[in-house]
Amino acid sequence: MKEALEDMVYQFGYRVVVNNKPAITTGGLSALEEAFGALGWDDPHILPEDGFSCDIVGCMKEPSSGQTWGDIYLRLCREHGGMAFKKEERPPVKEYATRRESRRDKVTGFLVD
Ligand SMILES: [Zn+2]
């Protein structure tokens, strides 16, 4: 039940950056405010950087696409996704993203343990 509520909040909440950390807010919507209350979350609720922000060092924006940039598959925000699409020079990649992608199977494309 808690997991279902979190999934709903992640889908409909508003993604923001607060104190240079990824976060999610209700945007003042009462249904989301009730859900945040049930989860015991502050508004805005700070999210972990790994999994909730762009894979480029220093970027805390929400990832909106996954694509290959140079020799690595990355989860990128709109801005960095556009740079990757235009094959611009890739800024440094976060260490956890490099670690994650070292586990990706080259044939299936799935992450393996
Ligand atoms: Zn970015």
- pLDDT, one tens digit per residue, over 95-106 is 999 999 999 998
- pLDDT value of residue 22: 97
User: Which pair of tokens denotes residue 68?
Assistant: 């290959």
Let me know whether 40 and 73 are in one domain: no
Let me know whether 62 and 104 are in one domain: yes
Comparing C-alpha atoms, which of 67, 81, 35, 74 is closest to residue 51? 74
How far is ligand 1, taken at its centre, from the CA of residue 58, in Å? 8
Residues in contact with 82: Cβ distance below 8 Å, sequence separation at least 6, in sequence order: none
Q: What is the pLDDT of residues 79-92, one digit of tens each?
A: 999 999 999 999 99
Let me know whether 55 and 40 are in one domain: no
Range of the domain at 95: 50-113
Rounded to a whole number, what is the distance in angstroms from the first to the last CA of the chain?
28
Indicate the number of domains in the chain.
2
Let me know whether 55 and 106 are in one domain: yes
How far is ligand 1, taken at its centre, from the CA of residue 34, in Å? 31
For residue 11, the SS3 value is helix
Count other C-beta atoms under 10 Å from residue 1's C-beta: 6
Let me know whether 110 and 66 are in one domain: yes
